Chains A and B, each alone.
Chain A
């Protein structure tokens, strides 16, 4: 158990809908990362927040947005969902030290768009 929690574990929804994925980082970790894992694209970095501020942005679609709250939990919002958005979404967190390279991954949220 990495100490990172994600809810929900599974999500089934329809095209055009909007969903929110939630992540609670390990105690004390200031950085939160979101990744998407699909069979054809592999594990892709979406976005990083550090202590409430966006720090790095990857291949995140404009239909997707994220935020990190004062209690350090984070939410990933996916809107206007398409079939191709079906994937595993992972959240990861990393320790307080800014130079740490260790990222601890949560168990993921499996999203199925029908």
Chain B
């Protein structure tokens, strides 16, 4: 079993829809949780990161962490065609200056105009 599980999709939604992306994890030592967006043939870019359980909002994006259930989500409101990309969840357990990220497999999202 992988440490981080993510539904690979693909997910296709109409423009303006609310998108929900999810990951589950098994390692309770994970403390930091991140969402990266990766456009085709590009490097991943950080969208959001959270430390504690609860919600964090940034514009149209909301990250949600439930440590008790080992479950994290990313919500995209009013989705746009430019949001079409692969979304990767990532997690880490900091140890001094060591930062080993464990990624989910990514969910491919297409927002149709």
Which A residues contact B (CB, under 8 angstroms)? Answer: 2, 4, 31, 33, 35, 42-45, 48, 50, 55-56, 58, 90, 92, 94, 98-99, 101-108
Which B residues contact A (CB, under 8 angstroms)? Answer: 32, 34, 36, 42-46, 49, 88, 92, 94-106
- Contact between chains at B43 and A43 (CB < 8 Å): no
Which residue of A45, A50, A55, A98 is within 8 Å of B101 (Cβ)?
Answer: A45
- Contact between chains at B97 and A55 (CB < 8 Å): yes
- Contact between chains at A107 and B44 (CB < 8 Å): no
- Contact between chains at A94 and B99 (CB < 8 Å): yes
Contacts of A101 in B (CB 8 A): 32, 34, 49, 92, 94, 99
11 A–B pairs (Cβ distance < 8 Å), ordered by A: A2-B45, A35-B101, A42-B106, A44-B103, A45-B100, A56-B98, A94-B99, A99-B94, A101-B34, A101-B94, A108-B43
Once bound together, how far apart are the Cα atoms of A98 and B102, in whole Å?
A: 18
- Contact between chains at B103 and A56 (CB < 8 Å): no
Contacts of B100 in A (CB 8 A): 45, 48, 56, 58
- Contact between chains at B43 and A2 (CB < 8 Å): yes
Once bound together, how far apart are the Cα atoms of A102 and B92, in whole Å?
A: 11
Contacts of B34 in A (CB 8 A): 101
- Contact between chains at A102 and B49 (CB < 8 Å): yes
Least Cβ–Cβ distance between B40 and chain A, in angstroms: 11
Least Cβ–Cβ distance between A111 and chain B, in angstroms: 14
- Contact between chains at B97 and A105 (CB < 8 Å): no
Once bound together, how far apart are the Cα atoms of A107 and B101, in whole Å?
A: 18
- Contact between chains at B104 and A104 (CB < 8 Å): no
